[in-house]
Amino acid sequence: MGMTISQKILAAHAGREHLEAGELINCKLDLVLGNDVTAPVAIAEFNRLGLKQVFDQERVVLVPDHFTPAKDIKSAEQAKTVRDFARGYGIKNYFEIGTMGIEHCLLPEQGLVGPGDLVIGADSHTCTYGALGAFATGVGSTDMAAAMATGEAWFKVPESIKFIYYGKTPRWVGGKDFILQAIGDIGVDGARYMSMEFCGEAITNLSIDNRFSMANMAIEAGGKNGIIAPDDITLAYVQGRAKRPYTIYQSDHDAVYADEKEYDVSKMEPLIAYPHLPENTRPVSAAADVMIDQVVIGSCTNGRIEDLQTAASILKGHRVHPELRVIIFPGTQEIYLEALRRGYIETFVESGAVVSTPTCGPCLGGHMGILAKGEKALATTNRNFVGRMGHPESEVYLCNPAVAAASAIKGRITAPWEV
Amino acid sequence: MKFSGQVYKFGNDIDTDAIIPARYLNTFDPAELARHCMEDADPQFPQKVKAGDIIVAEKNFGCGSSREHAPIAIKAAGVSCVIAKSFARIFYRNAVNIGLPILESAEAVDAIREGDQVEVELETGRILNLRTGASYQAVPFPGFMQQIMDKGGLIEYVRDKIAK
């Protein structure tokens, strides 16, 4: 019986020829990641082991991105804990403000993750790297601590659901809509403990930035990982970046899937996820009455250059609606600089939007755009849970960057073709 | 290990933002996190929960963020055990790793009401509703995870492994 791409990557890191779904295995890790919220807990746990070194100074990555630049004294203390640990243990991949970006935009950009890698991160959106054909999954801080000590982690070999996207992708529809379609279909626990494998002609033609948006939100369906088999688009992105050798895996033709879902994208519209779950999706044309107070464009889901390009192309020559605020977060310093060079930042500022330093900030209700009671935000982020962006009685609607930009102009949820 | 406590019931898909909102993640002091435990699902919960009480929830408890602050907050609030129809993957792993007892039983969740007194025997996975006298059997843990829990958490497990 054949194996899926996810099973093959796990097998290779467990030193096994073959694996079956459901087996509990111990794997060697290529990379272990933490941020300024999760790493301090991991460091405290790691310290309990009394070790003088981490398993590999090159393979532990620390990115203070959640509450940085530090939003308050406590956050500054947490960031300092991470900084001191990085210095004390000689962590090579610590990213200080100035080189830092949102972790899941930063690691692929810096070539720290490549196809075939096995990565765990103490952040649920670690699944983003599946866009490169890596097996990447989120864990908690104690798993991170154990992994920093041993370079290993245990896994239950997952079953996979295959998601086939076929047809020609309409204008203004992208990876964000593809993944919202799947989440809306199977629900927020539809892929619990499972791999989500994305394929089909619409995926083959999908840009790498759009693929990152898709894999990023696998966790919103409960997925253990989301993965897209590497192809020419993957290699074009990875070549010149990868800091380590990488390996291309593909699912076997006779691999067994727990389920298969097929979507005809040619009939798709951009989707909106209504409060308070990402599964509450509906087409943008069915959402036109929702007035909004704040638009957020950015995050590990949609803070990449193509996302900013889309937003800028719509905002250019327009002013944002006077009754709302627009906050734009480039994912990394490199993306910020590229957006600056291409004139997108000028477009944003001229339109009345503000542009922030890279940070997770408002996406998780941390800082830089918190909602008051009763306010509504439309965001290109990944979660719309109760209180996610601020007050427990505020609301978050999720969408792609084109819808966010068009809505910023109109002041209500708006389809891109209306502006 | 045997627990007995009063039940607080919650619905489907209780996410980790509801368990411990991100506005409190600038600390990981368990006592401070406990003061805000379940706040966005039930603002009164931190005030009314007593040591030993039990959380009973529908499906997919702990979905969303990987924040270990969520099981830490629940444990530090004095909750002895969480019973749910199912747990989100990262929360399940985190609970095992830090030694927060969790049990899966759809039958128990359907039958148990808010305010019931429930007794849980962790070793056997037996859940007894003291109001009705009905008992339920939770899904057993895989042996390997039971070993982690028997050691008191993943760090203790790893410490032993390194020592060998």
Among residues 237-256 of chain A, which lie with CB inside 8 Å of chain B?
none
Q: How far apart are CA A147 and CA A31, in angstroms?
A: 9
In chain A, where the domains are located:
5-262, 272-418
| pLDDT for the residue B143 | 81
| pLDDT for the residue B37 | 98
| pLDDT for the residue A367 | 97
Find tokens 């593909």 and name the residue. A250
Among residues 38-57 of chain B, which lie with CB inside 8 Å of chain A?
39-41, 43
Q: Which of A177, A198, A157, A221 is nearest to B64 (CA)?
A: A221
CA–chain centroid gap for A173, Å, is 18
What six digits make up the tokens of A93?
């991949």
Among residues 260-319 of chain A, which lie with CB inside 8 Å of chain B?
277
Residue of A nearest to B159 (CA): A49
CATH topology of domain A5-262: Aconitase; domain 3 (3.30.499)
Tell me whether the omega of the peptide bond preceding residue A69 falls within 30 degrees of 0, making it cis. yes
DSSP A286: G
| pLDDT for the residue B150 | 86
| pLDDT for the residue B146 | 86
The answer to whether A153 faces chain B, any CB pair under 8 Å, is no
Find tokens 């006298």 and name the residue. B133
Residues B8, B12, B16, CA angle at the centre, nearest 5°?
80
CA distance A383 to chain B (A): 8
Calculate the average pLDDT of chain A.
Answer: 97
pLDDT tens, position by position, A348-384: 999 999 999 999 999 999 999 999 999 999 999 999 9
Residue of B nearest to A390 (CA): B23
Q: Where are the alpha helices (DSSP H) in A28-134?
A: 39-47, 73-88, 103-109
pLDDT tens, position by position, B61-109: 999 999 999 999 999 999 999 999 999 999 999 999 999 999 999 999 9
Q: Pick the residue with more confidence: B145 or B38?
A: B38
- Confidence grade of residue B140 (pLDDT, cut at 50, 70, 90): confident
Are the folds of A5-262 and A272-418 the same?
yes
| pLDDT for the residue A327 | 98
| pLDDT for the residue A1 | 83
Q: In B, which residues are within 8 Å of A145 by CB distance?
A: 154-155
Looking at this predicted complex, what is its ipTM?
0.97
Question: Does the CA dihedral A68-A376-A378-A297 come out positive or negative?
Answer: negative
Q: In B, which residues are within 8 Å of A26 by CB distance?
A: none
Q: In A, which residues are within 8 Å of B67 by CB distance?
A: 37-38, 140
**A14: number of CA atoms within 13 Å, CB side?**
21
CA distance B13 to chain A (A): 8
Q: What is the average per-residue pLDDT within B15-37?
A: 98
CA–chain centroid gap for B28, Å, is 18
Tens digit of pLDDT at every position of chain A (419 positions) = 899 999 999 999 999 999 999 999 999 999 999 999 999 999 999 999 999 999 999 999 999 999 999 999 999 999 999 999 999 999 999 999 999 999 999 999 999 999 999 999 999 999 999 999 999 999 999 999 999 999 999 999 999 999 999 999 999 999 999 999 999 999 999 999 999 999 999 999 999 999 999 999 999 999 999 999 999 999 999 999 999 999 999 999 999 999 999 999 999 999 999 999 999 999 999 997 899 999 999 999 999 999 999 999 999 999 999 999 999 999 999 999 999 999 999 999 999 999 999 999 999 999 999 999 999 999 999 999 999 999 999 999 999 999 999 999 999 999 999 99
The answer to whether B89 faces chain A, any CB pair under 8 Å, is yes
Cβ <8 Å between B25 and A142: no
Residue B133 has pLDDT above 90, yes or no: yes
Could you report how far apart the first and last alpha carbons of chain A are, in Å?
52
Beta bridge partners of A297: A328
CATH ID of A272-418, from 3.30.70.100, 3.40.50.720, 3.30.499.10, 3.30.390.30: 3.30.499.10
DSSP A406: H
